[in-house]
């Protein structure tokens, strides 16, 4: 089959390009204000004021910080591998943004006589796509640490890579149990199933959700799993030699990963854009599709904000683990629990297939 210019749905292509621009812009703005929110949460928990100089309540502080990063002198160590030194933060930022492609942000809008989907790509292997992209994020950390030609950066990068690889195993096993129940790899279909059944997946997979949540902390390098940035041991970690916006890319990638991880957990276990305690179909039939889609976006972002707050709350509550404790938790606790959860789920699914009901 030959693809010609006439066979391309140009309106669909424009819709997807606009949606990509919107999601990237929103992700960057949210990452900016996550830094402000984190400092405010920390200040509240420590009985301080937090940022309050730049703008009302410090709301312009993220812009001031971004301008500072842009204006700072850009330093590339003479002994570093310059190409890889630039590639590392670029890859970290790229992989953080790519994950958002398969997340359904709402059902659809009805504009100009067309149904405009709020999902960039509703691929039937969405979960596999996410794991493939997330696994590439390891290279951003490893390349940055190795290219710096700094032993502390390299040690931190090795720590970060081994941590992410270890916790991806438990995360994958937790997802397998969820796939046994849903029977699909598509995030869109998972959200639709939760809407139709009126039952969120965290109710039927509480252990799987808990394992996934802990692994999400480790994947995002968030406290108590920020061992690749252990300042008291490794002098600022794998991005020690970075400055200006190269450092900004690494920091932004962490906050974007936190935002996308929250959206993913909301979609997998909490109904995604489903509006709690509301029949979405009945609401759409009464008020129209566009008001429904707007409320669905608000619902999803409300769940995301709660997860982001939980990320920040844990950071300022729980102390950092030792590295041996981190690896013991991953290999000796989470992976056996995930295997048990997968086998128990498979046993229940098998019993239901043979006529047993609970």
d(CA 75, CA 86): 11
pLDDT of amino acid 81 = 83
Whether the per-residue pLDDT at 86 is higher than 90: the answer is no
Confidence tier at 358 by pLDDT (50, 70, 90): low
- Output the average pLDDT for the chain: 85
Enclosing H/E stretch for 149: none
238 or 305: which leads in pLDDT: 305
pLDDT of amino acid 141 = 86
d(CA 169, CA 158): 17
Confidence tier at 55 by pLDDT (50, 70, 90): confident
Confidence tier at 208 by pLDDT (50, 70, 90): very high
Whether the per-residue pLDDT at 160 is higher than 90: the answer is no
Q: Where are the beta strands (DSSP E) in 57-140?
A: 108-111, 114-117
Average pLDDT over residues 183-210: 89
Confidence tier at 1 by pLDDT (50, 70, 90): very low
279 or 312: which leads in pLDDT: 312
Give burial (CB, 10 Å; 0-12/13-18/19+) of 25: exposed
* CA neighbor of 250 nearest in space, from 262, 239, 258, 266: 239
pLDDT digits (tens, 9 = 90+) for 96-140: 888 888 898 988 787 777 778 888 888 888 888 888 888 888 888
Confidence tier at 3 by pLDDT (50, 70, 90): low
Whether the per-residue pLDDT at 143 is higher than 70: the answer is yes
pLDDT of amino acid 70 = 84
Confidence tier at 270 by pLDDT (50, 70, 90): very high
d(CA 92, CA 114): 36
What are the helix and strand counts (H, E) for the chain? 14, 2
d(CA 138, CA 133): 10
Query: What's the distance, CA 189 to chain centroid?
Result: 19
> Among residues of the chain, what percentage have pLDDT more than 70?
95
Confidence tier at 245 by pLDDT (50, 70, 90): confident
Please check whether residue 154 is in contact with residue 184, taking contact to mean a CB–CB distance below 8 angstroms.
no
Burial call 209-242: b when 16+ CB within 10 Å, e when fewer = bbbbbbbbbbbbbbbbbbbbbbeeebeebbbbbb
Average pLDDT over residues 331-352: 90
């Amino acid at each position: 089959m030959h693809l010609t210019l006439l066979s391309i749905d140009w309106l669909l292509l424009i819709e997807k390009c606009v949606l990509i621009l919107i999601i990237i812009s929103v992700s960057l703005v949210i990452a900016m204000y996550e830094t402000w929110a984190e400092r405010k949460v920390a200040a509240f928990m420590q009985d301080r004021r937090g940022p309050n100089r730049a703008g009302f309540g410090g709301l312009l502080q993220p812009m001031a910080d971004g301008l500072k990063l842009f204006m700072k002198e850009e330093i590339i160590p003479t002994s570093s591998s310059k190409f890889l030194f630039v590639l590392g933060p670029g890859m970290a930022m790229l992989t953080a943004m790519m994950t958002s492609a398969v997340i359904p942000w709402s059902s659809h809008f009805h504009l100009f006589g067309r149904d405009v989907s709020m999902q960039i790509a509703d691929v039937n292997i969405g979960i596999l796509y996410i794991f493939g992209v997330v696994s590439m994020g390891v290279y951003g950390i490893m390349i940055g640490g190795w290219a710096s030609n700094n032993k502390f950066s390299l040690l931190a990068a090795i720590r970060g890579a081994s941590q992410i690889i270890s916790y991806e195993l438990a995360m994958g096993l937790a997802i397998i149990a969820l796939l046994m129940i849903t029977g699909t790899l598509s995030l869109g279909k998972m959200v639709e199933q939760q809407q139709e059944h009126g039952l969120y997946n965290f109710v039927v997979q509480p252990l799987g959700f808990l394992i996934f949540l802990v692994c999400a902390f480790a994947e995002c390098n968030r406290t108590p799993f920020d061992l690749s940035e252990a300042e008291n041991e490794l002098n600022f970690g794998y991005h020690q030699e970075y400055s200006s916006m190269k450092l900004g890319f690494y920091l932004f990638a962490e906050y974007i990963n936190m935002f996308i991880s929250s959206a993913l957990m909301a979609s997998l276990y909490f109904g995604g854009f489903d509006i709690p305690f509301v029949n979405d179909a009945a609401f759409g039939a009464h008020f129209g599709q566009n008001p429904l889609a707007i409320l669905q976006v608000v619902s999803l972002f409300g769940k995301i904000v709660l997860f982001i707050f939980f990320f920040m709350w844990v950071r300022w509550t729980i102390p950092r683990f030792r590295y041996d404790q981190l690896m013991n938790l991953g290999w000796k606790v989470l992976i056996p629990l995930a295997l048990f959860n997968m086998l128990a789920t498979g046993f229940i699914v098998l019993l239901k297939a043979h006529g047993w009901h609970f």
